[in-house]
Amino acid sequence: MSTIGSSSTTTTASVRATLAGGRRGDLPGTVFQVLLLGSLLFSLAVLAILVADVLGRAIPVFAERGLGFLTSPLSSNPAKAGVGQGIIGTAVLGGIVALLAFPFGLMTAVYLEEYAGDTKITRFIQINIRNLAGVPSVVYGLLGLSVFVAFMSAIGDTGSGRNIIAGGMTLAVLVLPIVIITAIEALRAVPNTIREAGYGVGASRWEVTRMLVLPSAAPGILTGTVLALSRALGETAPLILAGAVLGSFSGLNLSTLFSGSYTALPVIVYDWSRKPGDAFRADAAAAIVVLLVITLVANGIAILLRNRYERAW
Partner 1 sequence: MPDQTGDPMTMTAPPTGAPAPDVDAPDDTAHTPGPQTAPVTASARGEDVIRIENLSFYYSAFRAVKDVSIAIEKNQITALIGPSGCGKSTLLRTINRMNDLIPGTRVEGQVLYHGVDLYAKDVDAVEVRRRIGMVFQKANPFPKSIYDNVAFGPRINGYKGNMDELVEESLQRAALWGDVKDKLKQSGLALSGGQQQRLCIARAIATNPDVILMDEPCSALDPRSTLQIEELMFELKAQYTIVIVTHNMQQAARASDYTVFLNMADDRAGYVVEEGPTLGIFTNPKSKLTEDYVSGRFG
Q: Is the dihedral of CA 201, 206, 208, 212 positive or negative?
A: negative
Nearest approach, Cβ of residue 308 and partner 1 (Å): 15
Instruction: Indicate which single residue of 37, 127, 135, 197 sits in contact with partner 1 (rule: CB under 8 A).
Output: 197
Nearest approach, Cβ of residue 106 and partner 1 (Å): 20
- What is the DSSP secondary structure assignment for residue 211, as one 8-state letter? I
Residues within window 103-122 making contact with partner 1, judged by CB under 8 A: 117-119
Instruction: Indicate which single residue of 26, 53, 64, 196 sits in contact with partner 1 (rule: CB under 8 A).
Output: 196
3-class DSSP string for 22-72: CCCCCHHHHHHHHHHHHHHHHHHHHHHHHHHHHHHHHHHHHHHHCCHHHHC
Instruction: Indicate which single residue of 2, 12, 193, 253 sits in contact with partner 1 (rule: CB under 8 A).
Output: 193
Is residue 65 involved in binding partner 1 (CB under 8 A)? no
Of residues 176, 191, 9, the one with CA closest to residue 106: 176
Is residue 293 involved in binding partner 1 (CB under 8 A)? no
* Smaller CB separation from partner 1, 85 or 223: 223
Is residue 203 involved in binding partner 1 (CB under 8 A)? yes
* Smaller CB separation from partner 1, 32 or 111: 111
- Helix, strand, coil share of the chain (percent; to 5): 75, 0, 25
Q: Which stretch binds partner 1 (CB under 8 A): 98-106, 158-166, 193-201, 245-253?
A: 193-201
Contact predicate 183/224, CB 8 Å: yes
Of residues 303, 308, 292, 286, the one with CA closest to residue 90: 292
Question: Side-chain half-sphere of 85: how many Cα atoms within 13 Å?
Answer: 25
Instruction: Indicate which single residue of 6, 201, 250, 253 sits in contact with partner 1 (rule: CB under 8 A).
Output: 201
Is residue 216 involved in binding partner 1 (CB under 8 A)? yes
Is residue 199 involved in binding partner 1 (CB under 8 A)? yes
Is residue 194 involved in binding partner 1 (CB under 8 A)? yes
C-alpha distances in Å from residue 57, one per residue of 52, 63, 232, 286: 9, 11, 25, 7
Is residue 185 involved in binding partner 1 (CB under 8 A)? no
Residues in contact with partner 1 by CB under 8 A are 117-119, 191, 193-204, 207, 211-212, 215-216, 313
